[in-house]
Amino acid sequence: MTEPRFPTKLPETDDGATLFSVPFPSELNEETLAGLKSMAPIIVKQPYAIDYIHSHGQDSPFFAGLANGRLLGRMDPTSGYTYATPRGHDMTTGAETDWVDLTRRPARVHAFTVCYFGSEEFLPECPFVLALIEFEGAHTLFLGRLIGVDPDSPTLDWIGMRVGLRFRRNSKFKPTDVYFYPLS
Amino acid sequence: MRTVYVVSGGVSKFAKARPDKTFQPVVKEAYDYAISDLGLEHRQFTEMVDGSVASYFSDHFARQLMAGIMIQDYLGLCPKPSHRVEGGGATGGICFQEAWKSVASGDMDICLAYGFETMSHVNTWKGNEFIALASDVSFDYPVGGFYSGYYAMMVTRHMKEFGTTAEQLAYVSVKNHRNAYHNPYSQKHERLTVEDVRNAPMVAWPLTRLDICVMSDGAAVAILASEEGLARLEKATGRRLDPLVKVAGIGRGTDAMRMADRPHQSYEQFLQQNLLPCEDTAETRAYYHDLWDHGFRYPGVHSFRAGRMASKAAYARAGISEPLKEIDFVELHDAYTSSEIQTYEDMGLCRYGEGGPFAASGKPFLANVDYGLAFSDGDQVGACAVNPSGGLIACGHPVGATGLMQAVFAFWQLQGTVAKHFKDDTLQIRDARCGAIHSHAGTGTYVTVSILERESAPHAKEIGS
């Protein structure tokens, strides 16, 4: 069942003719009414679009930090347990965590993948590299995009690789406002 | 808690799309099969059943809020009590356990658990987007929300730490597809080789299209009963429901929603909180100590602490101390070949780090099926068959139905009725007495494990007593 080198099947699309009528018995009687049970299903396209008004809430300083060239994590004030992805309260002590600057801490790739396919929103960006990043002194990881590597030649050697971080100049107020690249 | 029996089940045909019916009649297919297999008419059963639990994952896929009550209504079960449960990929497993709780607690004597998902209403890439909304929409989804990508990151770490190989993952795909070849309910019927799996289009490195389950439309139901409920059903049917299959124990675990947040526990914490009794030997403690010396941290991103805790609780309640020796088969949540390998370890079928070699050993394969593979431990083939039905990878994964599908297939295995339901006895495990079902959500956020056992001797009560 080896996949052919070149596609032998056209991709399906959702466009096409708009249909306003379908075949139906010209006369309804016992026989034609019974026959309706075997009628093919009518399948209609129903567009659905929504704008959500999403608040970053207590995490807002993180996104403000990205817009100003700073990567912020949070830290439990007593234990020092440090979250590379912000978390308002510590999972062990229950205490409110404090903001901490991770921008200049040494960072490495902890795990990664190359996505050659994906969700609709990200299809135009394929292939892209997702990476979980570990920061020195932080106890949890941060999910980001890794660029500057060949997506067609992934290797486990990327794990453990030291990376630098850069920020988008025009912030989108998304976690992708920071991204990572290999340090030689 | 009272003893709870699984007394019947049904599964609709799983398919890429079921445009022939809306979701309610698809559930009714499974429901009609289950009550017919009991030997009851619709009216008889609806008079006896005390209530139900409904299972479906996504309001986005259904584009219908309160779909559960629409099924309750369609099945003619109003005004009996019911509620809907939701817990991502584990929704079906949670539904089964909530039905168990309804009966075990004494609230109901007969409880119907039903579940469905209709994933064909959107294209695959939109479906991937819906599923990825089950990741943190502030920090995970916007980076490239894609569950196959999340699981691929787990497996690269697993490969790096333990030496797991892509070929070992492919063994799982070959096994599950080959098993499903004999399962008429399955969505896919394919005979594959390791090369087929590795040469399939790459989705998220190193996972190819054949390492990943497909989206499906489908439904499943399970009927659970107490001793009293069983007596009422036997009186109505005029026959014994032997062999009885009881729920011997359940367990459930959780973990952080964001994979990045999972803790990296110390060796001492692992021993204290997560070690299984079967691992509590000097040799295995030394093995784990060595892992920690080499940088292993638990659960990290390579392991599912929720699956370990669910297994630990279920085993304790069922009195299982050596899962590999005492469990005849497992129907587990193989949304990815890699997650099957990770789950071998969580469930204690092997130690953490040994999932890859366990797959290649032949232990999780059926001894009577020719997979065209060479195994590293030929004498142990079939030691504990994993996903003898074909699992999610081949059967399909209509999310709200999946955990109940596992329950039904496990029930038929323990009843010894696979040949009757599949019209083929290839997948029947001889003299199966104990099976586990495992349902899993998110990146390991909710996990349920339920142990089913065939009772060894016919029950003593007279029919109608």
State the pLDDT confidence band at B463, using cuts at 50, 70 and 90. low
Report the alpha-carbon distance of residue A153 to residue A160 in Å, rounded: 17
- pLDDT > 80? residue B12: yes
Give the pLDDT of residue B33. Answer: 98
Q: Is A77 domain-assigned?
A: yes
The answer to whether B456 contacts chain A (CB < 8 Å) is no
Mean pLDDT for B285-294 is: 97
Report the alpha-carbon distance of residue B321 to residue B312 in Å, rounded: 9
Q: Which two tokens stand for residue B77?
A: 């079960």
Dihedral angle, C-alpha B404, B407, B413, B418, nearest 10 °: -10
Fill in the DSSP letter of residue B343: H
Which of A111, A112, A119 is opposite residue B129, by nearest beta carbon? A119
Give the pLDDT of residue B319. Answer: 98
Is residue B4 within 8 Å of B224, Cβ to Cβ? yes
Report the alpha-carbon distance of residue B52 to residue B8 in Å, rounded: 14
- pLDDT > 60? residue B464: no
On chain B, the residues whose CB falls within 8 A of the CB of A128 are: 144
Q: Is A117 domain-assigned?
A: yes
On chain B, the residues whose CB falls within 8 A of the CB of A6 are: none
The residue among A23 and B419 whose pLDDT is bigger is: B419
Q: Which of residues 121-160 of A touch B (CB under 8 A)?
A: 121-123, 125, 128, 130-132, 139-145, 154, 156, 159-160
Shortest Cα distance, chain B CAs vs residue A3, angstroms: 6
Is residue B344 within 8 Å of B364, Cβ to Cβ? yes
Give the pLDDT of residue B370. Answer: 97
Report the alpha-carbon distance of residue B259 to residue B154 in Å, rounded: 9
Amino acid identity for residue B169 in this structure: L
- pLDDT > 80? residue A46: yes
Mean pLDDT of chain B: 96
Mean pLDDT for B385-411 is: 98
Q: Is A22 domain-assigned?
A: no
Q: Is A128 domain-assigned?
A: yes
Mean pLDDT for B387-414 is: 98
Percent above pLDDT 90 for chain A: 82
| Domains held by chain A: number | 1
Which of A1, A85, A91 is opposite residue B190, by nearest beta carbon? A1
> What does pTM read for this prediction?
0.96
Give the pLDDT of residue B120. Answer: 94
Report the alpha-carbon distance of residue B430 to residue B171 in Å, rounded: 23
Mean pLDDT for B234-248 is: 96
On chain A, the residues whose CB falls within 8 A of the CB of B119 are: none
Which of B137, B160, B192 is opposite residue A159, by nearest beta carbon? B160
pLDDT digits over A106-118, tens only?
Answer: 999 999 999 999 9
Please give the residue of chain A at the shortest CA–CA distance from B156: A111
Q: Is A50 domain-assigned?
A: no
Shortest Cα distance, chain B CAs vs residue A100, angstroms: 16
- The enclosing H or E element of B399 equals helix B399-415
Q: Is A48 domain-assigned?
A: no
Task: Tell me the β-bridge partners of B220.
Answer: B11, B115
Mean pLDDT for B5-11 is: 98
- pLDDT > 70? residue B121: yes
Which of A14, A114, A143 is opposite residue B139, by nearest beta carbon? A143
Is residue B179 within 8 Å of B389, Cβ to Cβ? yes
- pLDDT > 90? residue A44: no
Report the alpha-carbon distance of residue A110 to residue A157 in Å, rounded: 11
Q: Which of residues 14-53 of A touch B (CB under 8 A)?
A: 14, 41, 43, 46, 48
The residue range of the domain holding A96 is 58-182
- pLDDT > 60? residue A68: yes
pLDDT digits over B63-82, tens only?
Answer: 999 999 999 999 999 999 99
Structural domains for chain B: 5-122+215-237 (3.40.47.10)
Shortest Cα distance, chain A CAs vs residue B152, angstroms: 6
Give the pLDDT of residue A18. Answer: 79
Q: How many CB pairs under 8 A join A and B?
A: 150
Report the alpha-carbon distance of residue A108 to residue A164 in Å, rounded: 8
pLDDT digits over B350-379, tens only?
Answer: 999 999 999 999 999 999 999 999 999 889
- The enclosing H or E element of B269 equals helix B267-273
Q: Is A132 domain-assigned?
A: yes
State the pLDDT confidence band at A7, using cuts at 50, 70 and 90. confident
pLDDT digits over B151-210, tens only?
Answer: 999 999 999 999 999 999 999 999 999 999 999 999 999 999 999 999 999 999 999 999
Report the alpha-carbon distance of residue A45 to residue B130 in Å, rounded: 18
Helices B305-318/B337-346 angle, 10° precision: 50
Which of A85, A115, A123 is opposite residue B261, by nearest beta carbon? A85
Give the pLDDT of residue A5. Answer: 79
SS3 content of chain A, % helix, strand, coil (to 5): 15, 25, 60
- pLDDT > 90? residue B327: yes
Shortest Cα distance, chain A CAs vs residue B370, angstroms: 17
Q: Which residues contact B421 (CB under 8 A, 6 or more apart)?
A: B412
Q: Is A83 domain-assigned?
A: yes
Which of B123, B153, B190 is opposite residue A113, by nearest beta carbon? B153
- pLDDT > 60? residue B465: no
| Backbone φ, ψ for residue B293 (5° rounding) | -60, -25
Is residue B219 within 8 Å of B26, Cβ to Cβ? yes
Report the alpha-carbon distance of residue B409 to residue B330 in Å, rounded: 10
Fill in the DSSP letter of residue A133: E
- pLDDT > 70? residue B250: yes
Report the alpha-carbon distance of residue A153 to residue B450 in Å, rounded: 42
ipTM of the complex: 0.95
| Backbone φ, ψ for residue B81 (5° rounding) | -70, 150
Is residue B211 within 8 Å of B197, Cβ to Cβ? yes
Fill in the DSSP letter of residue A89: B
Give the pLDDT of residue B458. Answer: 61
> Strand order of the sheet with strand B217-225?
B82-85, B51-55, B110-118, B217-225, B5-11, B245-254, B446-454, B434-440, B329-331, B385-386
Interface test with A, best of B146, B151, B443 (most A CBs within 10 A): B146
